[in-house]
Amino acid sequence: MHTRIAEKSLNPVLCLLVFLALFTLPVLSIGAQSLSGRDIMQMVDDRDDGDTSRNEMIMTLTSRRGNVRTREVLSYSKDYGEDEKTVMVFLTPSDVKGVGYLTWSYEENGKDDDTWLFMPALRKVRRISGSSRNDYFMGTDFTYDDMGDREVDEDEHKLIGEETVDGKRCWVVESTPKDPNYMYSKKISKVRQDISMIVQVDYFDRQGKLLKKLVVSQIEQIDGIWTARQMKMENLQDQHTTLLETRGVSYNQEVSDALFRVSTLEQGRIR
């Protein structure tokens, strides 16, 4: 009859924001004496992610029954002043191989992102609209909001303590949404003090029960930018886990403007 829109309405910029929000942070040396919870989360948000970036992301989804599914994604991004362009293409699995997204995102308030989807079977690009921020990304345990599409001031932040995680001192920050209808009642984040990087998050559902747990590991510096090579999100209620690994990461390398054109997306040769 007619073709169902097969896109899962994901926005590649949001995917990249995983790295912006959680994987990449500048090296900072901060006196903690007068910091509030909001200050800490603002520091997490104010990071240098490079003018360009390239990364390959492998998402391994494990169900309660032990069934494993894998998604592999290659993405590039480039800053254009305050705006950013991102292109993302699926490398695996075979049924979505070659599917690509191009997003031009704008800093200007009220200006919506431009997003195009390319599906090899359709042999043409399709303009798509943005997704719901509470939707899960490609069947993983990460929502778009989890991956960084959330403003600092959408939550009230409170510094509730300090503790040591893997030998590193961390601030513990409780974040409560201002919107009472938000999918989480609160989040508790542990932020490494030496590099202002989130290393653990506990997510609580609207009934106040622990819903998900995020653990960030294998943190290293790449091209001068701190990067997490592994993130594990576990849904404790569904017994479902997503392991997100990165490889081939680089920052501030030469990236051609042509990579962020619709015609390049149609060519299907982003690699």
Q: Which residues bind another protein (CB under 8 A)?
A: 1-5, 7-9, 61, 63, 67, 69-70, 92-95, 97, 104, 106, 112, 114-116, 121-132, 134-136, 138-140, 240, 256-258, 261-264, 266-267, 269
Least distance to another protein from the beta carbon of 156, Å? 25
Nearer to another protein, 106 or 182 (CB): 106
Least distance to another protein from the beta carbon of 149, Å? 13
- In this structure, how many other beta carbons lie within 10 angstroms of the beta carbon of residue 97? 13
Q: What is the dihedral of CA 205, 158, 177, 217, to 10 degrees?
A: -60
DSSP code per residue over 174-240: EEEESSTTSS-SEEEEEEETTTTEEEEEEEE-TTS-EEEEEEEEEEEEETTEEEEEEEEEEETTTTE
Least distance to another protein from the beta carbon of 93, Å? 4
Least distance to another protein from the beta carbon of 148, Å? 18
Amino acid identity, position 3: T
CA 225 to chain centre: 16
Nearer to another protein, 59 or 231 (CB): 59
Least distance to another protein from the beta carbon of 158, Å? 29
Nearer to another protein, 134 or 237 (CB): 134
Least distance to another protein from the beta carbon of 164, Å? 35
Q: What's the rounded Cα separation, in Å, for the pair 55 and 59? A: 13
Which residues on adjacent β-strands are paired with residue 57? 73, 246
Nearer to another protein, 139 or 224 (CB): 139
Nearer to another protein, 7 or 223 (CB): 7
Q: What angle do CA 74, 19, 205 make, to 5 degrees?
A: 115
Nearer to another protein, 44 or 59 (CB): 59
Q: List CB contacts of 183: < 8 A, sequence separation 6 or more.
A: 134, 143, 145, 205, 206
Nearer to another protein, 178 or 271 (CB): 271
Least distance to another protein from the beta carbon of 209, Å? 20
Q: What's the rounded Cα separation, in Å, for the pair 185 and 90? A: 33
Whole-Å CA distances, 65 to 68, 72, 140? 9, 22, 15
